[in-house]
Chains A and B, each alone.
Chain A
C-alpha cells in the first residue's frame, strides 16, 4: 500500500516549524531548517496564513522529466526517488517544480521529499497527514460517508485525550521515546529501501 504526504488542513498551521525540524533532523542530521524537504513559511508576515510548500507527489513528475541525467526516477505512490550520487546540481528539477518544493543543499545536491511521513508525527495540529494512494500515485477513494466538520481532528493535547482516540500501538510509542526513535529509524530504512539507494553520505 503506497502512501504520500498531504497538506490536509493548511489553515490549522500555527507556524511552529516542528515538522521542518523533524525532517532536517531525520534526513540531514542537522538542527537548522535549511535542509528540510518541506517548507513552511509566511507570505506577508505572521498576520497572514502560513503557506506549506511540500512535494505534491505528482503522478507524472515534471522534475523527473527535467533531470538530464536520470537522477530522479518514479516513486511508487507518486513523486520521485532521488539518486544523490549522480546528481550534479544543475538545478533543472528546481525550475520544473511549480510548487517550489525542491532546492539545492550546500553540496549542490537536490533536496526532495521522499514522503516518509516523519513530519506528520511532529505536527501538533494535523496540518500534515499521510494518505493512501494507488501505486500510480492516483488518490484512492476510501471514504464514502458524509464529511464531518471536524474530521481528521485528533484530540490534540493531554495524554488522557490522546489515549481515548489513539490505537494501542501508537499509545505505546508515545509512551516510550526509545520506541519512537526506532520507529523513526524504521521509517528511514523503509524509505531507503523504497528508493533503492543508500543515503549514508547524506545523513552523515
Chain B
C-alpha cells in the first residue's frame, strides 16, 4: 500500500466548500487523497462533481466492466449537515445498457463519508483476488476478502465485517452479494442492509473489480463559519420536515402508499403490463403491509422521517410450533415488481421474494420485469420448459419465482444466463421484444401513467422515476387537461431542479422542502454563496454533461426503442399512440437543444 500526493484539510473544522477526493486503485492496492476544491467550488458536490470527474477519468472505448472504468461515489456540502441530506450518488458505466449508470443510496453512507473527510471516492482498477476496503477517517486499508466471497447473503457480509472492523455505531458498510460476484448485469450494491445502489448494475461493476465491500466511518469535527445562522436554518428545515404536511406520505405508509393510489388511477403495471390495475392490490397495499407486517421504521442517518419500513415475516418450519422470523424492508417499487407485475397477491410471498433478491443482491425492479417477461414467453409458447430446465412460471406462483431468482443468479444454462443480462438482451435472443417492458434499456419502474412517464424514463438522464417529473406530470394531466407541450415544459423545469438537488445529494423525497430559496439560505448558513441563477445553471450544466457522457457511451436518439406493449395497454391518462410519443420526444429534444 502506498500513499501519494497526500494533502489533508488545511483548516480545522473546514466547511465552506468541500475539499478532498479519495482515489482508490484496486489493481495495486494504493490510494491517494487529493485536494479537489476546484471541483467542489464550481459544482458543489454529488452528481455535479461526479459527472465532471467521470469526464476527466473516462478513456474512450473503456467498457463498463473493464478495470480502467471508474466508479465514483459522491456526497455534497449539505450531507451530514442538514436533515434529509442523506444520499450518495454512484456514477459508473452501466453493464446493463452500456450507458451512463447513475444510482442513489441512503443509509449511513453519506454521513460516514462526510465525517471521514472524503466527500467523494473514485475507484479504479481491478484486483486479482477479492478485496474489501476500509476507510476510517484518513486511514485506508485494502483487505483480503476471499473468505467472504461466495457467501450466499449480503446480510451476512455486513455481520462479519462489523466484527472485524472498528467504528461501530454509525459506520456504513456497502457490499455485494452472489449476483454481483457472478456478474448479473443488474446486480445491486447493498448499503447498510436496507438501502441500495439498486438500478443499472453497480453490483456487477464491484464484482468485476473484485471489490466485495467498503466500510467507512469518520468522526471529524465540522463547524459553520456562522453558527447562529446555521442553527436557525437547521431548525427551519427540521420544522418544515417534521411539523408540516409536506412529507406526510413518507412519515406514514411510505412509498407503498402508491399501490392503491396507482391501482385506482389505473397506472399500476400488472402481469408484465398486460393491465394497469390488479385485483390483488388490496392485500399487497401499503395499508395491508402496515397493519399486518410492519414492525418498525428506521432512518437514513440524519433524516427525522424514518421512511424505511421493515416488515416481520413469521414463518413456521415444523408442526411443533417452531417459527423463524425474517425482517424485510419493503417499498412501492418492490411490491410492484414482485407483486402486481408477477400477479402475486399474497403479501407473505411478496416478502419472501423481496428477501431472496436482497440476499443475492439484485435490483428488484429489473428482476421482477425479467421474470414477468419470461412468464409471458412461456405462456405464449415462444419458449418451453426446455429453456427453463423444467420450471413452469405462472402468474402468482411465488414458489416457482423463488426458484427462478436463484437460477438467474446461478445461470446453469444459456437461457438463465440471458435472463441475468436483462430483458433487452434476453428478448433480442429469444423474441418477445414487443412486450419486453424497458425504456432506454432499463426495466421500467411501477408506473404506466401516460406520456410524461414514458418521456421522462426515455429522456431522463438516469432513466429513473424519481429523477424526472414524468408520472407526477401525468397525474396533473389526469386532474386537469394539459397539452403535451406543457407536460414537456414541466419535465424540463423539474429535470434542472432535480439535477441541482442531486448535486447537493438531498433525498428527493424532500424535494418540496429544498426549494431554491431554502437551498440558497442553507448554503449561505454554512458559508457557501450561490444565487438562484447559479444554481439553475449548475442544474443545466450537469444535465448537459450527462448527455455528453451518454453520447460517449453510445446513446443516440435514433436508436431509442419503444416496445409495443406501452401502446397496447391503457395508461392512467388513456391509450397512448406511438406517433404522439415520438413527436413529444422530438419536441423535448428541440427545446433542450440536444
Q: Which residues of A contact B (CB under 8 A)?
A: 11, 14-18, 21, 25-26, 29-35, 39, 41-47, 49, 106, 122, 124-125, 156-159, 162, 174, 177-178, 180-181, 184
CB within 8 Å of A: which B478-519 residues = none
| Nearest CB of A to B75, in Å | 14
Cβ–Cβ < 8 Å partners of A162 in chain B: 243
| Nearest CB of B to A45, in Å | 6
Q: How far is the CA of A43 from the CA of B222 in the complex (A)?
A: 25
- The digit string for B56-99, where 1 denotes a CB below 8 A from any CB of A, is 00000000000000000000000011010000000000000000
Cβ–Cβ < 8 Å partners of B251 in chain A: 156-157
Taking A32-B222, A49-B296 as known contacts, 20 extra A-B pairs with beta carbons closer than 8 A to each other, sorted by chain A number, are A14-B296, A14-B299, A14-B305, A16-B304, A18-B304, A26-B231, A29-B227, A30-B221, A32-B115, A32-B219, A41-B169, A45-B173, A45-B193, A46-B192, A46-B194, A46-B298, A47-B194, A156-B251, A157-B252, A177-B236
Q: How far is the CA of A56 from the CA of B586 in the complex (A)?
A: 66
Q: Which of B154-162, B372-380, B386-394, B443-451 contacts A (4 or more CB under 8 A)?
A: B154-162
Cβ–Cβ < 8 Å partners of A25 in chain B: 227, 230-231, 234
Known A-B contacts A157-B243, A158-B243; A41 and B168 likewise in contact (beta carbons under 8 Å): yes
Please provide the 6 A-B residue pairs with the shortest distance between their CB atoms, ordered closest to farther.
Answer: A41-B169, A14-B306, A16-B299, A14-B299, A124-B304, A16-B304
Closest residue of chain B to A180 (Cβ to Cβ) is B235
Q: Does B107 make an interface contact (CB < 8 A)?
A: yes
A31, B242: Cβ atoms closer than 8 Å = no
Cβ–Cβ < 8 Å partners of A156 in chain B: 242, 251
- The digit string for B206-225, where 1 denotes a CB below 8 A from any CB of A, is 00000000000001111110
Q: How far is the CA of A65 from the CA of B569 in the complex (A)?
A: 76
Closest residue of chain B to A106 (Cβ to Cβ) is B221
Q: How far is the CA of A43 from the CA of B162 in the complex (A)?
A: 9
Some 22 contacts from A to B, beta carbons below 8 A apart, are: A14-B304, A15-B299, A15-B301, A16-B302, A17-B111, A17-B301, A18-B83, A30-B223, A31-B223, A31-B230, A32-B222, A35-B221, A43-B168, A46-B298, A122-B238, A156-B251, A157-B248, A159-B243, A159-B244, A174-B243, A178-B232, A184-B231
Question: In the complex, which of the residues B80, B297, B305 contacts A31, with contact meaning CB atoms closer than 8 Å?
Answer: B80
Q: How far is the CA of A28 from the CA of B497 in the complex (A)?
A: 34
Cβ–Cβ < 8 Å partners of B235 in chain A: 177, 180-181
B155, A47: Cβ atoms closer than 8 Å = yes
Closest residue of chain B to A14 (Cβ to Cβ) is B306
Closest residue of chain B to A158 (Cβ to Cβ) is B245
| Nearest CB of B to A41, in Å | 3
Q: How far is the CA of A180 from the CA of B115 in the complex (A)?
A: 28
Known A-B contacts A35-B221, A41-B169, A46-B192; A16 and B305 likewise in contact (beta carbons under 8 Å): yes
A16, B306: Cβ atoms closer than 8 Å = yes
CB within 8 Å of A: which B345-372 residues = none
Known A-B contacts A32-B115, A177-B235, A177-B236; A21 and B242 likewise in contact (beta carbons under 8 Å): no
Q: Does B170 make an interface contact (CB < 8 A)?
A: yes
Cβ–Cβ < 8 Å partners of A47 in chain B: 155, 193-194, 310, 327
Question: In the complex, which of the residues A11, A14, A41, A158 contacts B244, with contact meaning CB atoms closer than 8 Å?
Answer: A158
Known A-B contacts A25-B231, A32-B222, A157-B243; A39 and B327 likewise in contact (beta carbons under 8 Å): no
Q: How far is the CA of A34 from the CA of B173 in the complex (A)?
A: 20
Q: How far is the CA of A111 from the CA of B169 in the complex (A)?
A: 18
B162, A45: Cβ atoms closer than 8 Å = yes
A41, B170: Cβ atoms closer than 8 Å = yes
| Nearest CB of A to B565, in Å | 38
A33, B115: Cβ atoms closer than 8 Å = yes
A177, B192: Cβ atoms closer than 8 Å = no
Cβ–Cβ < 8 Å partners of A31 in chain B: 15, 80-81, 222-224, 230, 526
Q: How far is the CA of A106 from the CA of B13 in the complex (A)?
A: 12
Q: Does B549 make an interface contact (CB < 8 A)?
A: no
Q: Does B268 make an interface contact (CB < 8 A)?
A: no
A45, B234: Cβ atoms closer than 8 Å = no
CB within 8 Å of A: which B142-157 residues = 155
Cβ–Cβ < 8 Å partners of B173 in chain A: 45
Q: How far is the CA of A16 from the CA of B303 in the complex (A)?
A: 5
Cβ–Cβ < 8 Å partners of B80 in chain A: 31-32
Cβ–Cβ < 8 Å partners of A43 in chain B: 168-169
Closest residue of chain A to B310 (Cβ to Cβ) is A47
Q: How far is the CA of A180 from the CA of B235 in the complex (A)?
A: 9
A157, B162: Cβ atoms closer than 8 Å = no
| Nearest CB of A to B330, in Å | 14
Q: Does B239 make an interface contact (CB < 8 A)?
A: yes
Cβ–Cβ < 8 Å partners of B232 in chain A: 177-178, 181
B239, A177: Cβ atoms closer than 8 Å = yes
Cβ–Cβ < 8 Å partners of A180 in chain B: 235
Q: How far is the CA of A18 from the CA of B306 in the complex (A)?
A: 12
